[in-house]
Amino acid sequence: MEPEKKKTIPEVSYETVALTEALAKLEPGELIHYTKLSAVCGRDVRTIARTNMYSAINRAVRDHNIVVECVRTEGYRRVDGGELLNAQSSGIKRIRAESRRRTRRLGCTDWNKLTQEEKGRLNAQLSIYGVVRHITTTQKTKLLAAEMSHSEAKPLPIGRTMEFFQGKKYNGET
């Protein structure tokens, strides 16, 4: 039996290409308004061309190494450096909140109705969500950032990161 082939869109739409090019021309900190983006692609990027806008944002990251963030009611602004770091830190808070929600939902499981395999899967998921909640607190993030600021090292390998959260000091070696 042959593996199922993944269906892909063979070509990118004109609207997505035009929006990607507009985003690629932005300088760091520059804002492009929704009206200009809509004029570029000939459709309203807040409604009918919203998916084209999302595709263009993803292509700007992938193809041009450019990140834009939404500025409510105005448009999109290119972010860079420390501003980019600050904009992306909200992701950690979202991951932590999602982990908390998933743990609550899994807590509604009737243990007695599960097979042994399902009990193992439930415990595995609860354990993973517990680790995520443990390592994504604001305090833990600040501690790791402070520890990492003492060196010019690249991000820690996963094993070293886990050691840090177990209370082992990072000595600047990877």
Contact indicator for 52, 16 with CB cutoff of 8 Å: yes
Q: Report the pLDDT value the prediction gives residue 7, as an integer from 0 to 100.
A: 58
Dist CA 37 CA 21 (whole Å):
10
The total of other beta-carbon atoms located within 10 Å of residue 60's CB is: 22
Residue 4 lies in a domain: no
From 86, 103, 137, give the residue that closes a domain: 86
Q: Report the pLDDT value the prediction gives residue 149, as an integer from 0 to 100.
A: 81
Domain identity same for 41 and 81: yes
Q: Report the pLDDT value the prediction gives residue 138, as an integer from 0 to 100.
A: 86
Q: Report the pLDDT value the prediction gives residue 100, as an integer from 0 to 100.
A: 95
Residue 108 lies in a domain: yes
Domain identity same for 33 and 75: yes
Domain, as residue range, for 138: 90-165
Work out the angle at residue 45's Cα, subtended by the Cα atoms of residues 42 and 46, and round it to the nearest 5 degrees.
140
Q: Report the pLDDT value the prediction gives residue 3, as an integer from 0 to 100.
A: 61
From 86, 111, 145, give the residue that closes a domain: 86
**Left if phi > 0, otherwise alpha if psi is -120 to 50, otherwise beta: which for 81?**
left
CATH number at residue 80: 1.10.10.10
Dist CA 137 CA 160 (whole Å):
18
DSSP 153: -
Residue spans of the chain under pLDDT 70: 1-10, 151-153, 169-174
Residue 174 lies in a domain: no
As for how many domains the chain has, the answer is 2
154: its two tokens: 């690249």
121: its two tokens: 């899967």
* Tens of pLDDT, residues 20-43: 999 999 999 999 999 999 999 999
From 86, 119, 148, give the residue that closes a domain: 86
Model confidence, pTM: 0.68
Q: Report the pLDDT value the prediction gives residue 170, as an integer from 0 to 100.
A: 56
